[in-house]
Amino acid sequence: MPSEVSFPHMLKTYRRASSLSQTELAHVLGIPVTQVINQYEAGTRRFPIEKLVVFAEATGCPPRTLIRAWLDDYAPDVAMVIFSPSSATT
């Protein structure tokens, strides 16, 4: 079952809820160009998977929720294997 919201929407929602500006988040993630955060949130650029844990720590987003949303949007076949009910028993 896919996550309820898109990954880009989740990024924006958690960033705003944590009171981080796009500039502050870019700094935390080690991204030198703030515009890139806007592109991630708009869904026009793929968020790098290696930054998921840093984002989760900075915003308080549960890492599993964040990873699930990322996989649902960018690797749905992998998400189905990892998060399908039958994968819990294999």
Residue 1 clears pLDDT 50, i.e. is over it: no
Of the listed ranges 11-15, 20-24, 84-88, the one predicted with least confidence: 84-88
pLDDT digits (tens, 9 = 90+) for 39-83: 999 999 999 999 999 999 999 999 999 999 999 999 999 999 998
3-state DSSP of 2-67: CCCCCHHHHHHHHHHHCCCCHHHHHHHHCCCCCHHHHHHHHCCCCCCHHHHHHHHHHHCCCHHHHH
pLDDT at 43: 95
